[in-house]
Amino acid sequence: MYLTASSASSLYEELCTQRDGYLRRGRDCAKLTIPHLLPDEGHNQAMKLATPYQSVGARAVASLSSKLLMALYPPNTPWFRLTVDPYKLDAVTGDPAIRTEVETTLNKIEMAVMGEVEAQGYRPQIHEAIKQLIVTGNALVYLPPEGGMRTYKIDRYVVKRDPSGNVQVIILKESIAPAALPEELRAMASQDATRLEDTVDVYTCIHRMDEGTFEVWQEAFGQKVEGTVGTYPVADLPWLPLRMEEVTGESYGYGYAVQYLGDLKSLEGLSQALVEASAMAAKCLWLVDPASPTRARTLADAPNGAIREGRESDVSMVTMGNKAADMRITFETAGQIRDRLGLAFLMNSQIQRKGDRVTATEWRILAEELESVLSGSYASLSASFQLPLVSLIISRMTRERRLPKLPKGVVHPSIVTGLEALGRGADLMRLDQFIQGATQQIGPEALNQFLNLGDYLARRATALGLVTDGLIKSEEQIQAEMQQRQMAQMAQTFGPDAMKITADQASQQQQQ
C-alpha cells in the first residue's frame, strides 16, 4: 500500500472503521474487569469511570497478567538464550572445544541484556501491554532509540496487515503540546484560531516499502514534520503491534477475556441483583397497627432500651418473606461462574480443591495443566513480542558499544517460554538426564575417564544463568594444586632433602 504524508490523517479515519468492532468488544471487557484500561471514547480525567458490581474480573486480569509476566519475563532467569550454530562455529574457529568458552561469553551478554531491561524500567510497560492484550487483545509497544518503553492502547493507533499477518501500515495518533512542534508548525497553529488548543494531533506513519524496509515519518496539520523521516529494516522496527488471539486474515486480535465475556456479563448481572437484594433486605421498616393505642411517633422518638406501653402484636417488621431461597439460588449460580473464571484466569484461590487437603504434588500438576492451556498464547507472544524485543535491545546496546557485535548467521537469539522450560532449564534437565543415564550404564568410575568435568560444570552453571568467573578452577589451577599436594606428600614421606631434589629436577626440566 503506497502512502503519502498528506493522506495519513484521512487513511487513519478510514482504517478506524475496520477497528471499531474490536474497539467495542475491548471496551465491553474493560467495563467488567479494569475500566481504565480502555475507557469510552471522549473520556477525560474529569469524568467518572464505570464501576462494576464485582471485583472478580479485575482480580482475574491481575492474576493472569502477573503470571504471564513472570512466565514470559522472569526477573532472575534469562527469558531468552543466544544460540550458536555448531556447524558454522566449527567452520569459523576450527576448534570444537571452544564451544564452552563461547557459551560462557554469550551467557554474559544475556545477563547484560537482563540488566538493561531492569535498569531502563521496561517491566512496568511490559506488564501494561500484557494487561491490554488480556482485556482488549491488542497493544502497540514502542522502544525508542533512547529512553524507556511506551505502550499505546488500541484506540490510539490503527494497523493494516496482509493475509499472512505481515504488517503493512501502522498509523499512531498522539496528542502533544503545541510547544513541542517545530517552529513553522507552531506558527501555522497560531494563525488558525480553531487550532489554538491545549494539544495538537500528530500522526506517526509507518508503512512497508518492500520486503525488507519500513518508511517512517510524522505528520501534523496535513504536513510532514521535517526531521522525522527515516527508514528501518524490518528486523529493527521499534514499533511492535501485538495481538493476543490471532485470526488469519484479520489485522487485529481478540483478548483472552473475550472468550469469557458471557461469564463476565452473567456474573455482573447476578452480582448487581445480589447487592440490590441485600440492600433491600438490610432495610429496617416497622409497621404499627393504626387501630392500636401504640403510636408510631412514640416508637420513633423512643431511645434505645426505653420502656413504652403497648402490645407486641401491634408492631411488626417488614421482611422479604421467603425470598431467601431465591437469593440462595442466585448466590450459588454466581459462585459457580466465579469458580469457572478463577480456573480460566489461573487464580490460586480457585485452583485449590475445597474441603480436602491438597498435596504440593497435586497443586503443581494442576497448575501445570492450567498453564498448558496458555501454551498457544506463549508461542504467539514469543514470536511477536519477546523475540523482536530482545533483538531491539541487543541492537541498541551494540550500537552504543555496550555489547560486542554478534557474528551474523552464527549466533541468533531464541526464546524459551513455558512452565518447565524457562531460561536454560531445559538444558539443565538434559544435562542431568545424561549424567544419570551414563552413570547407570557404565558406572561412575568409567564415566570419570571420559567426562570433562570442567566443561560439565561450566555448562551446568550456564544452564542456571550463572557467571562462572572465579567460580570454576581452570586447568592450570588444578595442575598447580595437584603438584603442590604431591610435593607436600613427598616432604612428609622422604623429608625436605628429597623435596629439594624434586624441585631442582622440575626447574631443570622447565629450563630445557
Q: Is the pLDDT of residue 7 over 50?
A: yes
Residue 87: CB atoms within 10 A of its CB come to: 9
With pLDDT > 70 as the criterion, what percentage of the chain qualifies?
77
pLDDT of residue 61: 94
227: burial class by Cβ within 10 Å (0-12, 13-18, 19+)? Answer: exposed
Q: CA angle, 486 as apex, 480 and 487 as ends, to 5°?
A: 90
State how far the alpha carbon of 39 is from the alpha carbons of 16, 22, 48, 60, 147, in Å. 17, 14, 10, 19, 27
Q: How many angstroms separate the CA atoms of 51 and 48, rounded?
A: 9
Give the strands of the sheet with 138-142, arranged side by side: 150-152, 138-142, 239-243
Residue of higher predicted confidence among 15 and 453: 15
Q: What is the pLDDT confidence band of residue 322, given thresholds at 50, 70 and 90?
A: confident
Give per-residue pLDDT as tens, 218-263: 888 877 887 888 899 988 999 999 999 888 889 999 999 999 999 9
For residue 423, what pLDDT is reported?
41
The whole-number pLDDT of residue 324 equals 79
Inter-residue contact 433 to 87 (CB < 8 Å): no
Confidence (pLDDT) at 357: 56
Cα–Cα separations (whole angstroms), residue 216 to 5, 232, 234: 10, 8, 12
Rounded CA-CA distance 298/112 in Å is 80
- Grid cell locating 175: 496528542
Is 173 in contact with 156 (CB distance < 8 Å)? yes
Residue 32: count of CB within 10 angstroms of its CB: 25
pLDDT at residue 155 tops 90: yes
Which residues lie closer than 8 Å to 491 by C-beta, 6 or more apart? 498, 499
| Cell representation of residue 75 | 526477573
Provide the 3-class DSSP secondary structure of residue 238. coil
Backbone angles phi, psi at 139, to 5 degrees: -165, 150
> In the prediction, which pLDDT does 421 show?
47
Residue 332 vs residues 100, 229, 242, 279, 335: alpha-carbon distances, Å: 60, 60, 38, 18, 5
> Within 10 Å of residue 445's Cβ, how many Cβ atoms?
8
Q: What is the mean pLDDT of residues 260-285?
A: 91
Report strand pairing: 286-288 vs 239-243: unpaired
Place of cell 554469550: 106
What are the φ/ψ torsions at residue 159 (nearest 5 degrees)? Answer: -145, 145
Q: Kindly provide the residue ranges of all beta strands, DSSP E only, lying in 136-222, ordered along the sequence.
A: 138-142, 150-152, 157-161, 167-176, 200-210, 213-220
Average pLDDT over residues 451-471: 69
User: What is the rounded CA–CA span in Å between residue 467 and residue 104?
Assistant: 8
| Cα–Cα distance for residue pair 19/29, rounded to 1 Å | 16
| 15-24, 177-186, 229-238, 249-258: segment of lowest average pLDDT | 177-186
Instruction: Give me the phi and psi of 217, to 5 degrees please.
Output: -155, 170
CA–CA distance, 326 with 508 (Å, rounded to integer): 101
**According to the model, what pLDDT value does residue 151 have?**
95
Q: 509 pLDDT exceeds 50? A: yes
What pLDDT score does 178 carry?
75
Measure the N-to-C terminal CA separation of the chain; round to a whole number of Å. 76
Quote the CA–CA distance of 169 and 239 in Å, as a whole number.
11
Spatial CA neighbour of 157 closest among 261, 8, 293: 8
pLDDT at 314: 84
Q: 260 with 346: CB under 8 angstroms? A: no
Which letter does DSSP use for residue 413 in this model?
E
Using an 8 Å Cβ cutoff, are 15 and 160 in contact? Answer: yes
pTM of the predicted protein model: 0.76
Q: What is the mean pLDDT of the chain?
A: 80
Interstrand relation of 150-152 and 157-161 (parallel, antiparallel or unpaired): unpaired
**Average pLDDT of span 370-392:** 80
- Range among 233-237, 352-356, 484-488 with highest mean pLDDT value: 233-237
Task: Tell me which residue of 149, 154, 127, 124 sits closest to 138, measured CA to CA.
Answer: 154
SS3 at position 173: strand
Q: Residue 209 above 60 pLDDT?
A: yes
* pLDDT tens string 104-133: 788 888 888 888 888 888 999 999 999 999
Q: What mean pLDDT do residues 35-60 have?
A: 90
Computed over its alpha carbons, how large is the radius of gyration of the chain?
34
